Amino acid sequence: MAGPAVTPTAGPSVRVRAPAKVNLYLAVGDLRDDGYHDLVTVFHAVDLADELTVRPARRTAVRTSPPDGVPPGAKNLAGVAARMLATRARAGGPVAIDIDKQIPVAGGMAGGSADAAAALVGCAALWDLDLGRRELTDIAREIGADVPFALAGGTALGTGRGDLLSPVMTRARLHWVLAISDHGLSTPAVFGELDRLRAQGSPPRVKPVDTMLAALTSGEPAKIAAALGNDLQAAAISLAPELRRTLRAGEQAGALGGVVSGSGPTVALLCADAESAGSVAAELAGSGTCRSVRVAAGPAPGARVLPTGGRG
Ligand code: C5P
C-alpha cells in the first residue's frame, strides 16, 4: 500500500516527468562526520522516467502505481518535497500526487529522488511560485543528495555528497540496456558494506575521473564504456553476488561495457547503438540473470512539466 486513498478536489492539475540516472563514474571518499561520503561522480539522466500528476487536495497524499516497494505515507519523498516547498515558499497547500512508476524501486537509479524533483517542479507550477531553478535546487539538496541532479538532468559532474553539480558537455547519445533485479538494495547498506570492505583491506578504487571526462568529450561509446567505473560496485556485489553473472551475461550478449548503477542492484550496459541495445536486451532477457530488462537512452532532460499536462 503506497499511502492513504487520495481524495482530490476538482480543479487544476499539473503533469511532470523526471528521469532515472546512471552513474557513469562514481568514486567514493571517506565517511564524513555527517554520515555521508564525499563523492566524485558523473551522473547521466536516461529516458526511463516517472510521471507525476499533482493537484490540490484536502490533505497531502501520494499514490503510486504499481505500489510495490514504494515508501508509503510520510516517508515518500514526493510528499516530503511538496510539504517542504510549501513551508519554504509560505504558499501552496495540500496536494494529491499520483506517480506512474517506471524507475525501479531501490534500484540505484534515484527513482525516489526523481519523484521528489518532479514534486518540486509540479507544485511550483501548480502554485504559480516565482522561484528560480537555484532556489528549487537548494530545497532539492536538503531532501537528498541525488535530488538536484534529477532536477538538472543531462550529464553532470557531481561533487560533495553528489549534490554540487556542474554540467558536462558531450555529443554522445548513449544507448543502454538496464538489467533490473528481483530485489532492491538499500543505499546506506551498500555504503556501509564499502566501509566494511575497506576496513578489511582495500578493494581497488576507480581511476581518476579525467579518463571519463575525456571519453565524454570524444563522444565515442567504446571509450565511454572503457571508462565506466563505480567504487560501490564491489559492495553491491558483496551483498548481491548474482550481479557478477548479470554483468558477464550483458557483455557476452554484445554490450561494450557494464557497471552497477549507483548503489545497485540495477546493472547498466552500454551498447554501440540503438540496434545493438535491442539485441543485447533480447539476449539478456533470456539469460535468466535478472528479473526484467529495459532499453533506455541518454542524456535526458531533468524534471519538467509536460506540455499536455495543462491545467483544468
Ligand atoms: O541523500 P540520500 O538520502 O539519498 O542518501 C541516502 C543514504 O546514502 C545516506 O543516508 C548515506 O547513508 C548514504 N550516502 C552516503 N554518501 C553520499 C550519498 C549517500 O553515504 N554521498
**How confident is the model at residue 232, as a pLDDT?**
98
Per the listing, cell 528549487 goes with 136
Has residue 312 got a pLDDT over 50? no
Q: Give residue 74's pLDDT band: very low, low, confident or very high (50, 70, 90).
A: confident
Has residue 40 got a pLDDT over 60? yes
Has residue 3 got a pLDDT over 70? no
Residue 95 has which C-alpha cell? 496536494
Residues 152-200 pLDDT 10s:
999 999 999 999 999 999 988 999 999 999 999 999 999 999 999 999 9
**How confident is the model at residue 311, as a pLDDT?**
42
Local structure of 153: helix, strand or coil:
strand
Has residue 142 got a pLDDT over 70? yes
Q: How far is CA 25 from CA 97, 189, 297, in A?
A: 33, 20, 17
Choosing from 191, 194, 196 the residue with most ligand 1 atoms within 8 A of its CB, the one to mutate for a pocket test is: 191
Centre of ligand 1 to C-alpha 308, Å, is: 35
Is residue 122 a contact partner of residue 16, using CB atoms and an 8 Å limit?
yes
Centre of ligand 1 to C-alpha 310, Å, is: 35
Q: Considering the chain, what percentage of its residues have pLDDT values greater than 70?
A: 95
**How confident is the model at residue 67, as a pLDDT?**
77
What type of residue sits at position 2? A
Shortest-distance atom of ligand 1 to CA 110? 4
Q: What positions carry a catalytic annotation? A: 21, 146
Residue 217 has which C-alpha cell? 568529450
Q: How far apart are alpha carbons 200 and 95 in whole angstroms?
A: 48
Has residue 8 got a pLDDT over 80? no
93 exposure class (CB count in 10 Å sphere: 0-12, 13-18, 19+): middle
**How confident is the model at residue 11, as a pLDDT?**
61
Residues 209-265 pLDDT 10s:
999 999 999 999 999 999 999 999 999 999 999 999 999 999 999 999 999 999 999
**How confident is the model at residue 62, as a pLDDT?**
95
Local structure of 104: helix, strand or coil:
coil
Q: How many CA atoms lie within 13 A of 43 on its CB side?
A: 33
Mean per-residue pLDDT for 284-294? 95
Residue 12 has which C-alpha cell? 487544476
Has residue 4 got a pLDDT over 50? no
**How confident is the model at residue 7, as a pLDDT?**
47
